[in-house]
């Protein structure tokens, strides 16, 4: 059974494409209208994982006992701490620093730079990261970063967009910080050397996006996240800020005064642990897409396994808004190598319409992300999608429409990255549609912080995707790159202030013993441990025959 | 790489025969991971093929979407002379493919304070003098998984054309394959990083709107209005949000991630 491909697609998919082509002219002339609020509610309730039964449950242990979070996150919170406190000797301190930063992505690197600017000497800072410095979702963001800097715009409007986009559930002080700090972040990027897309007079080319009332998206071609991350990482490298790579922190350390006082690092290659004592600790571990909540594929980085949520919860920090996830309507469903990877919202912005296997449109193309996703899921559940040879469902996004509407060459000019991606697999998106299905994109909630990035535990600060409150129950596009810059900066500044007065007591891991006891009292018997650090993608056969000998 | 499960097969002897799983009828290919033979389903990427065989990545795996450069690799097809270059997360395995992992590039980077550099014709040569040793062999370009014209941007760097060097190198994911293959030991991806920062900081014209807005923020112009929104009863702010004017836009300017 060798699959013969025609222009990159198996024969049966090509037959469906033929129907799409036949109906294209009709589909372009007769647009589907947006849904009423009532219809939106109904489709969300039936098809969006945030509203469906069986995706979430109450957590039975810890500070948020009784709160409802996604199953995959509750599983981690109800697992045993991965470190047995009796295995660790705290009398020898391997690294003694002022500031421990957990995570080498955007938030962690920005925090390090601003802690340094705020007077913490570089050799008193330590960034500890699970993979390489810069391996993070920050590197992957394509679209851009919001900042209200045009005369037609204002931080007040940006605030209103953030708050409304979050269904009015955001912490107002955090939304204010995000909107008001945005222009100064762009200025800082200019000084670092970020190559933003500009007009000839030097003003930024600013785009609009779902949920923004003004065009305020600053971008660097298709590689906005990469360009910003390359610049801040280069700055950190030139300053020689110490970075420990491939050494995730696996648990936080506390002291006898109830403060967070560093962490236990685990060398992924030698299996050694290191005791790191710090006056202040910034949690910047990012998101959790690799947990595949509600069984979704994900756009996220390999290391996005929610470690920070678990470690913070073990010391008593609270979590918010983890009953929602952001699924993006147009993840790739075919070919297999790119399943879950994003196809940008801009494709629909340029006029491409989602159609089912019969070539029929079924939804207004630019509904809010959650509604659009729900409509795609419904179409596939009810059997009007295409199933790929590897079992992935999907619907067509009719990209050739873009060339018909805006003229030949538009895709090459406006969607060069997307064109390159599909060309690798012999698919020409200017001639044939692409297959899409919703994909897990962003962890809306997380560890609760205030506008100084403090958690409820002294000595523990947090910034970036690991935190909750900034975006409430839904994040707007262009606000995550902004989030890690605004709150990474604040974390560096406020941690530096805290360090000046901090006095660390005797180190302890008693909080883990206490957590184990709480699990026992809640009647939770489990062999699972957390944080998990890496997802498990090995073949079933290989795992089933693996022996633990070495 | 923990506990790799070794599926050593007899299949390596059956050259040129199609491998078909007897139970499922699915098409399989044979790959050699650092010389060792494994059968994997056809259609997997190099990265997923290694995982299928039992490898659990620590190094050499990052964003899995072609942005981070962690998984750049070389490969060779049996009975071919040439090495291939690609990203393990993007390249699909072929039958009789020899696979390796190259998870780290020990290339030296110049250290500088961008605020103290000037975008002169010679600054790239001063920071990275070895670019003058380029022998124009074009191996760097041939080894780039992003299809960037690497040699061309190095030639621009030698000539002192910072802006062009930055433009040509913009899609670089800093995987380091160019530097590993270069006979003149040029660190292409570090050179172009400096060029892009110099261009972004010194050469591109700057926004006046941004400076104006920063002055207003520093003067706390927007504080009272945001304060008002923060204290507003929920029904009132919901109605304000629903009725806000959406800037008219051409669809072509719609962005998003």
For the beta carbon of residue B220, count every other beta carbon within 10 angstroms: 9
Length of chain A measured in residues: 550
Output DSSP code: residue A490.
H
A113, A492 in Cβ contact below 8 A?
yes
Q: Is B215 a member of any domain?
A: no
Q: Has residue B230 been placed in a domain? A: no
User: What pLDDT is recorded for position B176?
Assistant: 96
pLDDT digits (tens, 9 = 90+) for A416-430: 778 888 998 899 999
Same domain for B88 and B118? no
More confident residue, B25 or A332: A332
Confidence of residue A142 (pLDDT cuts 50, 70, 90): confident
Mean residue pLDDT of chain A comes to: 95
Query: B107 in a domain, yes or no?
Result: no
Find the range with the poorest average confidence among A246-255, A269-278, A404-413, B185-194.
A404-413
Sketch out chain A's domains with CATH numbers.
Answer: 13-47+327-440 (3.90.700.10), 81-324+443-508 (3.50.50.60)
**What is the pLDDT averaged over residues A236-259?**
98
Active site residue A328: yes
Please report the residues numbered 527 through 546 in chain A whose beta carbons come closer than 8 angstroms to any beta carbon of chain B: 534, 536-539, 541-543, 545-546
CA torsion through residues A299, A300, A305, A308, sign: negative
- Calpha distance B211→A191 (Å, rounded): 13
User: How confident is the prediction for chain B on average, in pLDDT?
Assistant: 88
Quick one: B82 and B131 in the same domain? no
Q: For residues B58 and B90, state if they share a domain.
A: yes
Q: Do the bridges between strand B97-99 and strand B27-33 make them parallel or antiparallel, or are there none, so unpaired?
A: parallel
CA distance A290 to B55: 17
Of the three residues B42, B69, B99, the one that is the final residue of a domain is B99
Query: What pLDDT score was predicted for residue A41?
Result: 84
Q: Which of B7, B207, B225, B257 should be substituted to probe chain A, the one whose Cβ sees the most A Cβ atoms within 10 Å?
A: B257
Detail the DSSP E strand segments found in chain B: 19-20, 27-33, 36-41, 72-77, 84-87, 97-99
Give the tens place of pLDDT for each residue, A176-228.
999 999 999 999 999 999 999 999 999 999 987 778 899 899 999 878 999 99
Question: How many CB atoms are closer than 10 A to CB A374?
Answer: 29
> Which pLDDT does position A79 carry in this prediction?
98
B163 and B91, same structural domain? Answer: no
The answer, yes or no, to whether residue B22 has pLDDT greater than 80, is no
Cα separation of B52 and B45, whole Å? 10
Q: Look at residues B203, B226, B252 and tell me which one is the last residue of a structural domain.
A: B203
Which tens digit of pLDDT belongs to each residue from A302-357?
Answer: 999 999 999 999 999 999 999 999 999 999 999 988 999 999 887 888 889 999 99
Query: A530: distance to nearest CA of chain B, Å?
Result: 18
The residues, any chain, with a CB within 8 Å of residue B223's CB and separated by 6 or more, are none
H and E: helices and strands count for chain A? 16, 25
Cα–Cα separations (whole angstroms), residue B197 to A16, A371, B96: 48, 40, 43
Residue B248 lies in a domain: no
DSSP string spanning A27-85?
A: HHHSPPPPPPHHHHHHHHHHH-TTTSTTSEEE--SSTTTT-EEEHHHHHHHTSEESS-G
Q: Answer whether residue B189 is part of any domain.
A: yes
Q: Which domain holds residue B93?
A: 11-99
Q: Which of A112-126, A368-382, A485-499, B11-25 has the lowest mean pLDDT?
A: B11-25
Looking at A389-393, B36-40, B50-54, B197-201, which range is the least confident one? A389-393
**Residue A531 preceded by cis peptide, ω within 30:** yes
* pLDDT score of B245: 87
Residues B94 and B122 both lie in one domain: no
Give the per-residue pLDDT at A40.
85
Widest distance between CA atoms in chain A: 75
Query: How far is the C-alpha of A328 from the C-alpha of B138, rounded, in Å?
Result: 40
Averaged pLDDT, A26-46 = 88
Measured in residues, chain B has a length of: 257
The enclosing domain of B86 has a CATH number of 3.10.20
Answer yes or no: is B153 within a domain. yes
Closest alpha carbon within chain B to A543: B54
A145-146 and A125-128 strand pairing: unpaired
Question: Does residue A116 contact residue A239 with C-beta atoms inside 8 Å?
Answer: yes
- Give me the mean pLDDT over the A29-36 stretch: 84
Cα–Cα nearest to A384, from A357, A359, A364: A357
- Kindly provide the ipTM of the predicted complex, given to two decimals: 0.93
Q: Which two tokens stand for residue A287?
A: 């998101």
Half-sphere exposure of B226 (CA within 13 A, CB side): 23
Q: How far apart are the first and last CA of chain A?
A: 39
Cβ proximity of B93 and B44 under 8 Å: yes
Alpha-carbon span B195 to A193, nearest angstrom:
9
The Cα–Cα gap between A42 and A40 comes to: 5
Confidence band (pLDDT; 50, 70, 90) for B103? confident
Q: Chain B, 21-40: which have a CB under 8 Å from a chain A CB?
A: 25-27
Please say if the pLDDT value at position A233 is more than 90: yes
Tokens for A431, please give them: 């001639």
Q: Is the pLDDT of residue A2 over 90?
A: no
Q: Which of B102, B5, B85, B94 is nearest to B43 (CA)?
A: B94
Are residues B81 and B154 both part of a single domain? Answer: no
Return the DSSP state at A425. Answer: T
Residue of B51, B214, B247 with shortest CB distance to A213: B247
Shared-domain flag, residues B186 and B145: yes
Residues linked to residue A125 through DSSP beta bridges, in sequence order = A99
Alpha carbon separation from A95 to A191, A263, A492, A498 (Å, rounded): 33, 10, 19, 19
Q: Nearest residue on chain B to A475, judged by CA atoms?
A: B257
B119/B94 same-domain check = no
> Facing residues of B254 across strands?
A208
Asked, for residue B83, whether it belongs to a domain, the answer is yes
Contact indicator for A434, A401 with CB cutoff of 8 Å: no
The reply to whether B69 and B125 lie within a common domain is no
φ, ψ dihedrals at B250, nearest 5°: -80, 140
Indicate whether B130 and B93 sit together in one domain. no
Domain count, chain B: 2
Q: Write out chain B residues lying below 8 Å of A342, CB-based.
A: 65, 257
* CATH code for the domain of B174: 1.10.1060.10
State the smallest CA–CA distance between residue A115 and chain B in angstroms: 17
DSSP H stretches of helix in A123-223 = 155-165, 172-192
Sign of CA dihedral A536, A538, A544, A549: negative
| Helix or strand run (H / E) with residue A394 | strand A393-397
Q: Do A159 and B200 touch (CB under 8 A)?
A: no
Cα distance between residue A337 and residue A348, in whole Å? 23
Residues of chain B contacting residue A186, judged by C-beta atoms under 8 Å apart: 210
B9 touches chain A (CB under 8 A): no
Which among A412, A488, A459, A403 has a CA at the least distance from the CA of A127? A488
Q: How confident is the model at residue A75 (pLDDT cuts 50, 70, 90)?
A: very high
Q: Quote the percentage of chain B above a pLDDT of 90.
A: 78
Q: Identify the pLDDT of residue A211.
A: 80
d(CA A145, CA A394): 29
The answer to whether residue B28 sits within a structural domain is: yes
Q: Does pLDDT of A297 surpass 70? A: yes
- pTM of the complete model: 0.93
pLDDT over 80 (residue A487):
yes
Strands A446-448 and A467-468, bridge-based pairing: parallel
State both tokens at A335.
Answer: 């070919």
* A277 bridge partner residues: A96, A262
B149 & B199 share domain: yes
Q: Tell whether B131 and B59 lie within a shared domain.
A: no
Going by pLDDT thresholds of 50, 70 and 90, the confidence category of residue B256 is low
φ/ψ of residue A439, rounded to 5: -140, 150
- Given this model, what pLDDT does residue B252 score? 40
Residue pLDDT, tens place only, B203-254: 999 999 999 999 999 999 999 999 999 999 999 999 999 888 887 444 444 4
A chain contacts of residue B226, beta-carbon cutoff 8 Å: 155-156, 159, 176, 179-180
Q: In which band, very low, low, confident or very high, does the pLDDT at B23 lie, cut at 50, 70 and 90?
A: low
CA distance A238 to A429: 42
Give the pLDDT of residue B249. Answer: 41
Please give the Cα distance from A465 to A534 (Å, whole number): 17
Measured CA to CA, the distance from residue A339 to residue A389 in angstroms comes to 12
Nearest CA distance, A233 vs chain B (angstrom): 11
pLDDT at position B6 is: 31
% of chain A exceeding 70 in pLDDT: 99
């Amino acid at each position: 059974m060798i699959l013969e491909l025609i222009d990159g697609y198996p024969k049966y998919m090509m037959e469906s494409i033929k129907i799409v082509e036949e109906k294209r002219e009709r589909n372009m002339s007769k647009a589907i209208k947006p849904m009423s609020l009532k219809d939106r509610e109904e489709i969300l309730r039936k098809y969006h994982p945030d509203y469906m039964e069986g995706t979430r449950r109450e957590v039975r242990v810890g500070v948020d006992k009784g709160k409802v979070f996604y199953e995959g996150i509750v599983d981690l919170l109800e697992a045993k701490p991965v470190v047995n406190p009796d295995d660790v000797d705290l009398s020898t301190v391997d690294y003694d620093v002022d500031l421990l930063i957990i995570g080498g992505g955007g938030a962690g690197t920005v925090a390090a730079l601003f802690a340094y600017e705020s007077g913490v000497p570089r050799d008193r800072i330590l960034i500890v990261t699970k993979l390489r410095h810069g391996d993070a979702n920050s590197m992957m963001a394509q679209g851009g970063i919001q900042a209200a800097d045009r005369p037609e715009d204002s931080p007040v409007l940006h605030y209103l967009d953030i708050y409304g986009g979050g269904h009015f559930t955001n912490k107002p002080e955090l939304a204010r910080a995000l909107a008001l700090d945005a222009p100064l972040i762009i200025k800082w990027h200019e000084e670092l050397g970020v190559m933003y897309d500009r007009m000839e007079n030097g003003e930024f080319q600013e785009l609009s996006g779902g949920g923004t009332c003004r065009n305020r998206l600053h971008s660097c071609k298709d590689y906005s996240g990469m360009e910003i991350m390359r610049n801040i990482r280069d700055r950190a490298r030139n300053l020689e800020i110490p970075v420990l790579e491939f050494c995730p922190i696996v648990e936080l350390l506390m002291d006898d005064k109830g403060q967070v006082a560093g962490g236990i690092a685990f060398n992924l290659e030698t299996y050694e642990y290191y005791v790191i004592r710090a006056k202040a600790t910034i949690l910047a571990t990012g998101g959790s897409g690799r947990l595949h909540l509600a069984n979704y594929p994900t756009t996220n980085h390999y290391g996005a396994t929610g470690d920070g949520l678990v470690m913070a919860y073990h010391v008593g920090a609270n979590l918010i808004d983890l009953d929602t996830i952001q699924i993006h309507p147009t993840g790739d469903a075919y070919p297999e190598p790119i399943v879950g990877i994003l196809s940008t919202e801009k494709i629909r912005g340029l006029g491409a319409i989602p159609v089912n296997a019969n070539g029929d449109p079924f939804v207004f193309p630019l509904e809010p992300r959650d509604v659009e996703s729900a409509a795609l899921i419904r179409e596939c559940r009810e059997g009007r999608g295409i199933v790929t040879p590897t079992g992935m469902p999907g619907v067509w996004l009719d990209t050739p429409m873009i060339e018909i509407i805006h003229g030949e060459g538009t895709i090459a000019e406006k969607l060069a990255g997307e064109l390159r991606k599909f060309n690798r697999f012999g698919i020409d998106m200017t001639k044939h549609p692409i297959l899409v299905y919703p994909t897990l994109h962003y962890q809306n909630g997380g560890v609760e912080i205030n506008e100084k990035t403090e958690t409820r535990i002294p000595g523990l600060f947090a910034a970036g995707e690991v935190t909750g409150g900034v975006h409430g129950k839904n994040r707007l596009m262009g606000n995550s790159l902004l989030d890690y810059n605004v709150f990474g900066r604040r974390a560096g500044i406020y941690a530096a202030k805290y360090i000046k007065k901090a006095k660390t007591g005797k180190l302890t891991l008693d909080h883990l013993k206490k957590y184990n006891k709480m699990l026992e009292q809640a009647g939770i018997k489990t062999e699972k441990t957390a944080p998990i650090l890496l997802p498990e993608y090995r073949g079933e056969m290989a795992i089933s025959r693996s022996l633990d000998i070495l | 790489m923990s506990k790799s499960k070794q599926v050593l097969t007899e299949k390596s002897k059956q050259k040129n025969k199609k491998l078909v799983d007897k139970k499922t009828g699915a098409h399989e290919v044979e790959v050699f991971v650092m010389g060792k033979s494994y059968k994997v389903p056809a259609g997997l990427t190099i990265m997923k093929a290694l995982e299928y065989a039992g490898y659990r990545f620590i190094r050499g795996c990052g964003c899995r979407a072609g942005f981070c450069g962690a998984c750049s690799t070389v490969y060779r097809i049996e009975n071919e002379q040439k090495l291939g270059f690609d990203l393990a997360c993007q390249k699909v395995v072929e039958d009789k493919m020899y696979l390796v992992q190259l998870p780290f590039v020990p290339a030296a980077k110049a250290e500088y304070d961008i605020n103290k550099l000037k975008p002169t014709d010679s600054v790239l040569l001063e920071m990275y003098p070895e670019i003058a040793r380029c022998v124009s062999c074009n191996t760097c370009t041939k080894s780039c998984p992003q299809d960037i014209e690497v040699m061309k941007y190095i030639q621009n760097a030698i000539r002192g054309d910072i802006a062009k060097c930055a433009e040509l190198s913009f899609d670089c994911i800093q995987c380091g394959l160019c530097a590993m293959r270069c006979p003149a030991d040029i660190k292409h991806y570090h050179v172009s990083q400096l060029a892009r920062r110099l261009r972004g900081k010194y050469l591109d014209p700057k926004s006046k709107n941004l400076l104006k807005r920063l002055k207003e923020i520093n003067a706390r112009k927007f504080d009272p209005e945001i304060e008002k929104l923060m204290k507003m009863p929920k029904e009132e702010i919901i109605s304000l949000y629903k009725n806000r004017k959406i800037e008219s836009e051409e669809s072509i300017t719609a962005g998003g991630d």
